[in-house]
Amino acid sequence: MGNGEAIERLKGALRRLPGVGPRTAGRMAFHLLERDREGGKLLAQALHAAVADVNHCERCNNFSEHPLCDICKSGKRDETLLCVVETPADLDTIEQAGAYTGYYFVLMGHLSPLDGIGPDQLGFERLLEVVAQGLVEEVILGTNLTVEGQATADYLSDLLQPQSIKVSRLARGVPAGGELEYMDANTLNQAFSDRRTLVESIEGKT
């Protein structure tokens, strides 16, 4: 294309990012080279540092630059609760919501046999080790409510059954602000079957 090899290599490397096709890669390369070379340098450095320094927390498996991540070494959380999530982004979202006070275990994915992701790739053994330490009283399965997330939760539920601890799943139902008119049948049926009692009927009342 008369552009030279360095640009073609850059476009090729950008295409390894998720969701980036040839046109987007071209636009990104153009932007960095023409309008933001400083940004290009910063990105190169940040990538270099992250690839070199970021590993997994020994306890919760989340990304961490240290053997233990900030949450695991805080010592201020409820150690009877362990929430299993798929990704660091899920963990961040739960932390931002602010109500959960226990620890986490991050699977870094979900079961996906077609992609070669089975129990070994998701560190289920390490999860069992954490539970075996005896402090955890309840494992909350916080995987996504997608088909893959549900399958992963079902598998984990079976796996944890012999451990004689409570295993729970995030509630399914109508989201806050949701309008019934626009809910899918699955969600609505689940909301009916899991409905919460607000006032107990008083037997013998007349």
Where on the chain is the footprint of its own copies (CB under 8 A)? 1-7, 9-10, 12-14, 16-19, 23-24, 26-34, 36-37, 39-51, 53-54, 62-66, 69-71, 87-89, 91-92, 95, 108-109
Which residue, among 76, 75, 55, has the nearest Cα to 66 in the 3D structure?
Answer: 55
Q: Which is nearer to its own copies, 146 or 161 (CB)?
A: 146
Q: Which is nearer to its own copies, 2 or 162 (CB)?
A: 2
Minimum gap (Å) between residue 167 Cβ and its own copies: 24
Alpha carbon distance 57, 59 (integer Å): 5
Q: Which is nearer to its own copies, 66 or 166 (CB)?
A: 66
Alpha carbon distance 60, 71 (integer Å): 9
Minimum gap (Å) between residue 11 Cβ and its own copies: 8
Minimum gap (Å) between residue 12 Cβ and its own copies: 7
Alpha carbon distance 14, 22 (integer Å): 9
Q: Which is nearer to its own copies, 95 or 194 (CB)?
A: 95
Helices (H), the chain: 5-14, 22-34, 37-53, 70-74, 88-97, 124-132, 147-160, 185-193
Minimum gap (Å) between residue 123 Cβ and its own copies: 12
Q: Which is nearer to its own copies, 52 or 198 (CB)?
A: 52
Q: Residue 141: beta bridge partners?
A: 84, 169
Minimum gap (Å) between residue 88 Cβ and its own copies: 6
Q: Which is nearer to its own copies, 68 or 174 (CB)?
A: 68
Minimum gap (Å) between residue 85 Cβ and its own copies: 12
Alpha carbon distance 1, 85 (integer Å): 45
SS (H, E, C) 124-183: HHHHHHHHHCCCCCEEEECCCCCHHHHHHHHHHHHHHHHHCCEEEECCCCCCCCCCHHHC
